[in-house]
Amino acid sequence: MKATLVRRCIRHSLKAAPLLWPVLLLMVSCARHVDTGEDANVTSRGSFEVTARLEEIRGNLIDDPMYDYAHVMKYEVLRVHRGQIPEDTMYVGHYNPAKPRDRVADARVPEIGGNVRRFRVGDLHRMALEVPIDEHYMGGIINKYFGEIEDPVYWAIWTNKVAQ
């Protein structure tokens, strides 16, 4: 009786295996894979590439379809992948930050993007950058650090999320 039950269990498990294996593989894969935000765009665009933690967003992000602007945000630099960035803190201007990065490019700024959907303090971003912002972007800038910092403001070309 006991042996029959065991045999039946094994038979059922084998029947369900084709369905279970992909789920198990996906789980293992997810557990091992860390999303570093690396992709062909972030590693090739701009002169600088960093992984950084979004430390502060001063002021509200304005979502006004009538007007475009860049909003300067404060980052803690965790790793510099390309270029020389001497400071641990950097200031980055993001174009129309209320929009997801994959939908932000427009007639004024055609070649920017990424996969960040929302800017949240504490998130890690891998970014392709240029500096100074004025040499790469001509438009309104909300810089709540104006008059307070001497640091250059970087211009975000590509912004990907990094899984923590």
Partner 1 sequence: MNPTRVLWLAAATGVLSACMAFGAQDQRIGQLAKEVAGKGWIVYAARSAENETWDLFVMRPDGAQRRNITNTPDQEEGGPRFSPDGKRLLYRRFPKGTVIHHDLWGFQGNLVIAAADGTNPVEIGANREHPWASWSPDGKQIACLTLKGIQVLDLETKKIVRQLPRKGIYQQLFWSPDGQWFCGVANARIMWTVVRMDAATGALNVVHEFQSCTPDWFPDSQHIIFPSRPAGQKGYGFTQLWMSDGEGKEPTMIYGEDGYHIYGGALSPDGKYVLFTRCRDDGGGSEKSGAPICIMRLSDAPAIGGPSPALRRLHPGAKDAPVLELVDGWEAHWTYAEIGVKE
For partner 1, the binding residues (CB under 8 A) are 66-69, 107-108, 134-143, 146-147
Looking at the Cβ atoms of 51 and 96, the one nearer to partner 1 is 96
Q: What minimum distance in Å lies between the beta carbon of 25 and partner 1? A: 48
Backbone angles phi, psi at 126, to 5 degrees: -105, 125
Which helix (H) or strand (E) segment holds residue 51: the answer is: strand 48-56
Looking at the Cβ atoms of 43 and 143, the one nearer to partner 1 is 143
Q: Which are the contacts of 82, defined by CB distance < 8 A and separation ≥ 6?
A: 43, 47, 48, 49
Q: What minimum distance in Å lies between the beta carbon of 150 and partner 1? A: 16
Q: What minimum distance in Å lies between the beta carbon of 129 and partner 1? A: 16
Amino acid in the structure at residue 153: V
Looking at the Cβ atoms of 127 and 133, the one nearer to partner 1 is 133
Length of the chain: 164
